[in-house]
Amino acid sequence: MNEAVVLTPERILEVTEDVLRRYGLAKATVVDVARALDVSHGSVYRHFPSKASLREAVAKRWLERMDAPLRKIAQDTGPAPARLETWLRTLFAAKRERVCDDPEMFQTYLTLAREACAAVKCHKDGLVEQMSAILSDGVKQGVFDVTDTKATARAIFDATSRYHHPAHADEWKDADLPARVDALLALLLRGLKAA
């Protein structure tokens, strides 16, 4: 065992992602992960008691990485309409970049995320919460007229599915995408505006 590096869950997850990238989801095993870490597979199991729990943790880490910059925007101050627009564009860009930069890993993460439905639901609810917070700020600022911020945040999440739901990934390279995103965001922001 390599004594130089302390075996943290974070370190295991990092290496697991490398292993997944190298061997692919179907072939990668916990033994491969242990070998890449230069530890026994028992050491890996001490942190992740099953292959399933390791897979779930990889999915969660992926979702959290997507979440972090968005949470920052939601917790920011400043005019709510601009923040909402930045938040949505950041979400779309994060998804699009992940698909375009590394389509194979995107598919891997997607498969892992499908297994981890609870984590995905939690992730989606969190995104809606973040938007809901921006909408509340907008109401306080007197720029948004929204009665039910939670339901409206969900409506915006639904309305933008085409630009963040993986089922539409094939459409994210369309040449007219930027213009369509602009038109959609303009329409949604108008719908929120206080009279």
Report how far residue 120's alpha carbon sits from residue 112's, in angstroms, rounded to the nearest whole number: 10
Residue placing its CB nearer to a copy of itself in the complex, 108 or 152: 152
Pick from 21, 129, 159, 172 the residue near a copy of itself by CB under 8 A.
159
Residue placing its CB nearer to a copy of itself in the complex, 16 or 149: 149
Report how far residue 78's alpha carbon sits from residue 72's, in angstroms, rounded to the nearest whole number: 12
Residue placing its CB nearer to a copy of itself in the complex, 57 or 192: 192
Report how far residue 67's alpha carbon sits from residue 88's, in angstroms, rounded to the nearest whole number: 12
Q: How far is the CB of 54 from a copy of itself (least distance, A)?
A: 27
> Three-class SS of residue 144?
strand
Binding of residue 114 to a copy of itself (CB under 8 A): no
Report how far residue 170's alpha carbon sits from residue 72's, in angstroms, rounded to the nearest whole number: 28
Which residue is listed with tokens 């190298």?
22
Residue placing its CB nearer to a copy of itself in the complex, 108 or 160: 160
CB 157 within 8 A of CB 126: no
Binding of residue 191 to a copy of itself (CB under 8 A): yes
Q: How far is the CB of 73 from a copy of itself (least distance, A)?
A: 21
Q: How far is the CB of 171 from a copy of itself (least distance, A)?
A: 9
Burial class (CB in 10 A: 0-12, 13-18, 19+), 37: buried
Binding of residue 7 to a copy of itself (CB under 8 A): no
Report how far residue 86's alpha carbon sits from residue 67's, in angstroms, rounded to the nearest whole number: 14
Binding of residue 161 to a copy of itself (CB under 8 A): yes
Binding of residue 187 to a copy of itself (CB under 8 A): yes
Residues at the interface with a copy of itself (CB under 8 A): 148, 151-152, 154-156, 158-162, 165, 167-168, 179-180, 183-184, 186-192, 195
